[in-house]
């Protein structure tokens, strides 16, 4: 899985990316030029304000699993999965379904 590691790339997503939210996850997405960087990349962020290291690691593992199950990373898109406080309180299947709907909406809106 190709991940976004550079802080400049993540800053670009926060400043220019489009936000899509559910009650437990926010996606920040930007469409990239297929010829310049055709491979889609992802990042997983769980902030320190939300919990201790154990909680943050569990949240990132859950987001990585969801991304993998939904077929990510997606070519032509750089996406940040941003955890919210309720991520670990909801059932995995509900979070997965919500992310699936969110990704579908994101692809539709960004394709226009």
The answer to the question of residue 2 being in a domain is no
The CA angle 72-73-79, to the nearest 5 degrees, is 110
CATH number for the domain spanning 29: value is: 3.30.230.10
Is residue 85 one of the residues assigned to a domain? Answer: yes
Question: Is there a domain that residue 111 lies in?
Answer: no
Enclosing domain of residue 81:
7-106
Within-domain flag for 1: no
Q: What are residue 77's DSSP bridge partners?
A: 31
Model confidence pLDDT, tens digit, residues 42-97? 999 999 999 999 999 999 999 999 999 999 888 888 999 999 999 999 999 999 99
55 falls within a domain? yes
Q: Does the pLDDT of residue 38 top 70, yes or no?
A: no
- The average confidence (pLDDT) of the chain is 89
The count of structural domains within the chain is 1
């Amino acid at each position: 899985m190709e991940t976004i590691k550079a802080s400049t790339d993540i800053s670009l997503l926060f400043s220019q990316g489009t936000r899509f939210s559910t009650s437990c996850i926010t996606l920040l997405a930007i469409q990239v030029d297929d010829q310049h960087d055709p491979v889609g990349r992802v990042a997983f962020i769980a902030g320190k304000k939300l919990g201790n290291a154990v909680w943050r690691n569990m949240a990132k593992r859950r987001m990585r699993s969801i991304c993998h199950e939904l077929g990510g990373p997606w070519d032509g898109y750089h996406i940040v999965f941003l955890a919210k406080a309720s991520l670990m309180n909801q059932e995995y299947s509900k979070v997965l379904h919500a992310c699936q709907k969110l990704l579908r909406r994101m692809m539709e809106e960004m394709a226009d």
